[in-house]
Amino acid sequence: MGTADSLTEEGRNGGRELTWDDKEVCGHYLVRFCPFDLFVNTRSDIGPCPRIHDPKLKESFEKSPQHDAYVAKFEAELAQFCEILVMDLDRRVRRERERRHQEVEPAPPHPPVN
């Protein structure tokens, strides 16, 4: 869940009530899932989501007449974020494999000196 979950709604927004379309609300969470919640407590943990996850806002989004107009936008943003995340993780795996391969690879034998 987002880091702001423990704060009151008023505290997050200087006293005004949040709506699902506020920039502080996690669009990924509204349409599917938040990628920040995927690798919690693993070496690939990317930390807490900086945006707000609120089931009431998600429900409000789902009932909104603007829902369909925003779903494609939020899903595209989620897909792009996930693609970047996968590329970063692939790069980390590749580097780790290369590092391990270098550790295991025996040193080439020296030619005999005459």
Q: What is the pLDDT of residues 3-57, one digit of tens each?
A: 444 344 445 566 678 999 999 999 999 999 999 998 899 888 899 999 999 999 9
The pLDDT value given to residue 104: 66
Give the pLDDT confidence score for residue 5 in this predicted structure.
44
User: What per-residue confidence (pLDDT) applies to 66?
Assistant: 94
- ∠ CA 63-60-8, nearest 5°, is 175
pTM of full prediction above 0.85 = no
Gap between the Cα atoms of 89 and 111, Å rounded: 41
Per residue in 88-111, pLDDT (tens digit) is 999 999 998 888 888 766 666 777
